[in-house]
Amino acid sequence: MKVTIACNFPPDDRLGSSKIALREADELERLGVRVERVFRDALPGPHAGRAGALTSPVRIAAALWSRAEGSDIVDIAGGDGFGYARIARAARPRQAVVARSNGLWARVLETEPQTGGLARKAASAMLQKGVFCRWEAASLKNAHFARTLSSPDKDDIAARGWKPAERISVVNPGADDTFDSDAPLERREGVVFMGSWLRRKGKRAAAAALSRLLESRPSLRVWVLGSGFTVEHVLSDFDAAVRGRVSVVPMVPTVELARLASNAAVLLFPTLYEGFGLVVLEAMRAGLAVVTTPTGAGVDAVRDGESGLIVPFDDDRAAEQAVARLLDDDALRRRIAEAGQKEARRRTWQRAGEELLACYEAALATLGKRAR
C-alpha cells in the first residue's frame, strides 16, 4: 500500500497536529507501508497569513496532483481536502481520499469568541463560518472515508450528516515513550498545565482555580508548559500575589516537556473542546494524576475516578476542588496516577498505526479495492 499524508502544518513535533501526523507516518512505514509526506514546506506559496489560509485547498490540490500519483490512499487534514477529493473522484477513481479531522473547526468557534470591534468580529465570523466551516464540511462529505482522533467527533460528524457513521473511523493517537517515567509518585509536587494558553484550552478556569490554590497553599508551585505566549501574557491571568510561584515555558521540545512534567504531581487541563488533547495522554504516561473535562481524551482515555478526574466545562470551583483532592490525598493521587500510567502505556503509537492501517483498508473497500 502507498499512502500520501497531507496537511497544511509545518513538520514540527512541538505542535500537536504535526506530531500526530509525523508519528503516524513513522508507524505506517514500520508496518511496510510506503508513505509520502506533504507538509506546509512542500506546498507552493503563500504559506502564511490570510492569503495562505484562503488558498490552502488549491495549493494542497496542486501539490497532491504530482506528489500523490500512484497512491492508494490520500489522507488530508482539516478543511483543505474537498478540492482534491473532487479531482480524485473524477481523475483517479482507484484512489481513496480520507478526510482527517484533528478537531472540528465549528466546535472550536463555539469556544473561542471573535475579538476586536464589531466590524472586525462580524467579518471574522463571516470568514470562519462562511468559508472555513463550509470547507470542513465539504472535505468530509467529498472524501470516500473519514477519520477522527476521538469518538465524540465521530458522533458529531455523523449527527451533522457529513458522513455516515460506518464510513468514519476513530484512531486515538499514542503517547511518546519519552514520557514514560519511573520517578517515584510519592515524591511528586506541584501542578502543571500543558498546552496553548487559550480560552478553548480552559485558561480562564485554570488561572482562577490555580490562583486560589496557590493563595491557600504557600508551598505549592505551578508550571504552564508550551503556552505559545509570552511569560508576561500568561502571568497576567493569575492573581498578582501568586505570580512568583508560576513558571511559564512558552515553547518546549518534547524531551524537555517530558522531563518537566515528570516532576509534577497533577495535570490540570480544563479544556472546553479537543479533537483529542494529546497532552492528557502524555501526562498520564508521565505519571501525573489528571484533571480534565469530558471531551476528546477525557472521554476516550480517562475513566472518571479511576484513571483521572473529570470536571464540568468552565467550572473553576470544580477544577479547584478536584486538584485539592489529589494534593491532599496521596493514596488517591497515586492510585489514579498508576491507573492512568497503565492506560497510557497501552496506548502506543504502534497500536495507533495498526488501527490507522485498518482504517485505510476500510476506505479502499468502499472502492471495491484491496490493499497491495
Query: Are residues 163 and 306 part of one domain?
Result: no
Q: Which pLDDT value is given to residue 191?
A: 98
Q: Which three cell numbers stand for residue 73?
A: 490512499
Is 146 in the same domain as 235?
no
Spans of the chain below 70 pLDDT: 114-116, 119, 369-372
Q: What is the CA radius of gyration of the chain?
A: 21
Domain span holding position 34: 2-174+349-365
Return all residues near 186 (Cβ < 8 A) that are at least 6 apart: 330, 334
Co-location of 6 and 129 in the same domain: yes
Indicate whether 334 and 318 sit together in one domain.
yes
Tally of domains in the chain: 2
Is there a domain that residue 188 lies in?
A: yes
pLDDT (0 to 100) of residue 47? 83
Check residue 262 and give its pLDDT.
93
Residues 170 and 132 grouped into a single domain: yes
Q: Determine the pLDDT at residue 61.
A: 96
Got the DSSP string for 123-189?
HHHHHIIIIIHHHHHHHHHHSSEEEESSHHHHHHHHHTTSS-GGGEEE------GGG-----GGG--
* pLDDT score for 52: 87
231 and 142 share one domain: no
Which pLDDT score, from 0 to 100, does residue 124 have?
Answer: 77
Task: For 295-337, write each residue's pLDDT tens digit.
Answer: 999 999 999 999 999 999 999 999 999 999 999 999 999 999 9
Verify that 199 and 340 share a domain, yes or no.
yes
pTM: 0.93
CATH at residue 119:
3.40.50.2000
In a domain, 370, yes or no: no
- Asked if residue 142 lies in contact with residue 131, where contact means CB atoms within 8 angstroms, the answer is no
Task: Report if residue 147 sits inside a domain.
Answer: yes
